[in-house]
Amino acid sequence: MDWITGIQNALDYIEEHITEELDYEEIAKQAACSNFYFQRIFGILCGFSLGEYIRNRRLSIAGSELSVQNIKVIDAAIKYGYDSPESFTRAFVKFHGITPSQAKKDGSKLKNFSRISVQIILKGGSVMDYKIVKKEAFRVIEKLERHSINDSENKNTIPEFWERSRKDGTVNKLLELTSDKEFILGVCYNHAPTNTQTFGYSIAAVCGDDTAVPDGFRISEIPARTWAVFECIGPMPQAIQQLWHRICTEFFPTSNYKPTYEMDIEAYPAGNMASEDYRTEIWVPVVEK
């Protein structure tokens, strides 16, 4: 299954089951990838979380039904997954700016949140530099934490993890232990177990076979893989977020490669991360389509 088809299958599944209790694991299966990976790519592509999309679609449809059908507010609340009319009303007012009761009146102004349809739009030629690199297995020493996959909470918790690691000496310790002084790595492990709501993310550095392991750290082996390596130039985190968007919207839909969905790595060199010419890399394990 190709990149575009998988995501569209998942979006179609959401629409077909919009009034039912939606299982995010089942949604991700429609795209042939993990719950975590689907939510992550969805957020990169759309700029909002999967949970926000589902809530907004339900509230949009509910508003339309209340305005044209003889449906009670309590029935609409139950139909679209709310525990009570009160919680439904709060969400409805936040989205539409009016109450469900007001929506039933003629001439009421409602907001529409349209369904997403995935397309490749040709905007003219653009250059995206990358290289395909075959790497043998290598070891990293890392400090790992688990982060929530829900509603893009990790957009805040991962930067907080980096900030703590700079302050508490984690980054300096990794620089002491690494056999490769060029990069400190952010390793995102995408192979979360079924039905878990967290994923593993580590701050890491390449190490040798005889590296001592301090308390709170661990050694992991990154398997031999073919990697698509993308150079990123610009201040963090804006530049790397923009590059991820291009990888998802330009590279994978049109290239001869697809991700393995196992992990990905962001490689950060020493330097001023706020500089316009700061250079880092994204490594994504790939296979040919």
Please state the pTM of the whole predicted model.
Answer: 0.82
For the four alpha carbons of 261, 44, 93 and 102, in that order, the dihedral sign comes to negative
* Burial class of 157 by CB neighbour count within 10 A (0 to 12, 13 to 18, 19+): middle
If we measure between CA atoms, which residue out of 255, 60, 259 comes closest to residue 52?
Answer: 60
Report pLDDT digits (tens) over 60-75.
999 999 998 889 999 9
Give Cα 238 distance to the centre of its chain.
15
| CATH class for the region spanning 131-288 | alpha beta
Using the predicted structure, report yes or no on whether residue 203 has a pLDDT greater than 90. yes
pLDDT band at 207 (very low <50, low <70, confident <90, very high): very high
- Specify whether the CB–CB gap between 283 and 267 falls below 8 A: yes
- pLDDT score recorded for residue 48: 87
- pLDDT score recorded for residue 91: 97
- pLDDT score recorded for residue 72: 94
Using the predicted structure, report yes or no on whether residue 142 has a pLDDT greater than 50. yes
Report pLDDT digits (tens) over 161-194.
999 999 999 999 999 998 777 899 999 998 655 5
- At CA 118, angle to CA 115 and CA 122, rounded to 5? 130
- Specify whether the CB–CB gap between 230 and 281 falls below 8 A: yes
CA distance 182 to 50: 36
In the CATH hierarchy, which fold is given to the domain comprising 3-103? Arc Repressor Mutant, subunit A (1.10.10)
Report pLDDT digits (tens) over 82-125.
999 999 999 999 999 999 999 998 778 999 999 988 765 545 44
Domain spans, the chain: 3-103, 131-288
